Amino acid sequence: MKIIIFPFLATLISCFLSSGVYGYTKSEISSWCSQTPHPESCEYFLVAGNQNSGPVTQKPDFIKALLKITLDRAKHAESNTKGLGTKCRNKLEKAAWEDCIELYDNTVERLNMTVDPRKKCSQYEMQTWLSTALTNLETCRAGFEELGVGGYLLPLMKNNVSALISNTLAMNKGGSPPETYPNGFPSWVKPGDRKLLQSSSPGSQANVVVAQDGSGNYKTVGEAVAAAGKRSGSGRYVIYVKAGSYNENIEIGTKLKNIMLVGDGIGKTIITGSKSVGGAVVGDGFIGRGITFRNTAGPQNHQAVALRSGSDLSVFYQCSFEGYQDTLYVHSDRQFYRECDIYGTVDFIFGNAAVVLQNCNIYARKPPNRTNTVTAQGRTDPNQNTGISIHNCRVTAASDLKGVGGVKTYLGRPWKQYSRTVFMKSNLDSIIDPAGWMPWSGNFALDTLYYGEYLNTGPGSSTANRVKWKGYRVITSSTEAARFTVGNFIAGGSWLPSTNVPFTSGL
């Protein structure tokens, strides 16, 4: 059956699209959308989905309209993805699909945070949460591809949300981090929390105690975390984990905010597992102190994450992360690591957070294939405000690598197109190969990455024979280096003082 549109109806539809009944004219849309990386998606969805967002006369109006339609499409994609569960054919596909559900849920939450009328969202924070939203969708897609499963599911999940987020990132870029919050610390921090990180007796200030011998409130960390989900209010909740080895896969989900996990120190309180991901922290405002996170899968078992973190404004202080390949997954959002130990072989600090590691010890272990890469940063969009900044750290050999010949150790390799990593004022041991950095595959990302070194010391710090890639640079300007400090890169001056963790804001 043919569908006939009468001439007067066609004229009416044309008037609707051009007269501003949707809040702005089609010519306005075309003009603004032409400035984005994906103008076709921009025009299509703004015309089809706008519901009187108001006239677009200024750039903020356009960003507001983009955010509205992006959130709408993300909710639609989340609903569609949830409906695909019955199509999973095996456990691997089911696991990848479940990860996607969690990632879409977090994406919608992050996008909601950019439009919440009850909270003022700065340009800088908007860029952070948009960066996380895009990382989530990339992680969902990659989960199926890297597992080699569910190829038939990916076309069913295909949507334009990533393109819409990328458009918004491009239009919103340029915001500066806030210097301080209005009252000196974020709303989720209580003044009484200030001394928790420095306390010599964390048990006395804890909400609950975990002890294997039964002397606490719970015998497992998982039980204590589950109880935290039932607490009233959203203030800081402190779980003190007494010395012992806890063989658990801990999950601190997105709804569990402001959790603090305190142990008796590195090598004393140990949370260990042998799955591909030993533990995951997603709830915002997480603080970890004095705990070893260990994955015991071993060097031959490929990916063996000791901890995955996607917690915004999170702190890890005097913790240890022990694994081989992919030890520490700094997945997304703003993270800070101070006086921590990280052990691994291949890509053992990886992900797409905006993260600073400061005063940490980074230990390369003996690899099965004679090659180590310290970092693999995963920025997929040039406007994401993400990257790995390693400041005033020490990169050296773990005990099993000392004296072993024939092993090459590199500072990093580009996992994604716009990979961004800097080493600043760090001590690089002789294990670092003179080339410094290693390709991922052929010429992939060598022109678009950003790899920098600034005033490093030690026998492995010479830049005389470093790679000649377009994206690599020896940073000589303190102004350029300052972009990657705690104060500028993760806005640390606005939230770290409240935790009382020691940090250096500048260079």
Which residue type is seen at 364? A
Tell me the pairing of strands 259-262 and 287-289.
parallel
DSSP-derived secondary structure for 260-304: EEE-S-TTTEEEEE-SSB-EEE-STT-EEES-EEEE-S-GGGSB-
Closest CA to 387 of 395, 376, 398, 373: 376
Helix (H) or strand (E) holding 467: none
Which residues partner with 328 through β-bridges? 307, 349
Q: Helix crossing, 59-82 with 39-49: angle to 10°?
A: 80
How far apart are alpha carbons 236 and 189 in whole angstroms?
Answer: 7
How far apart are alpha carbons 315 and 317 in whole angstroms?
Answer: 6
How far apart are alpha carbons 461 and 23 in whole angstroms?
Answer: 57
Residue 213 annotated to the active site: no
CA angle 166, 171, 174 (to 5 degrees): 110
Under 8 Å between Cβ of 186 and 498: yes
Residue 163 CB-half CA count within 13 A: 15
How far apart are alpha carbons 47 and 21 in whole angstroms?
Answer: 10
How far apart are alpha carbons 11 and 20 in whole angstroms?
Answer: 15
Closest CA to 449 of 424, 423, 422: 422
Which residue type is seen at 150? G
Torsions phi, psi for 210 (to 5 deg): -110, 125
Tokens encoding 318 = 């005097």
Closest CA to 116 of 170, 46, 64: 64
Closest CA to 39 of 68, 13, 23, 62: 62
Tokens encoding 244 = 């012992």
Residue with tokens 């700065």: 122
Residue with tokens 């919050």: 181
Under 8 Å between Cβ of 247 and 277: no
Choosing from 105, 347, 381, 429, the catalytic residue is 347
Query: What b-and-e string marks burial along 278-296, b requiring 16 or more CB atoms within 10 Å of the CB?
Result: bbbbbbbbbbbbbbbbbbb
Closest CA to 308 of 362, 372, 351: 351
How far apart are alpha carbons 39 and 240 in whole angstroms?
Answer: 51
**So which residues are the catalytic ones?**
347
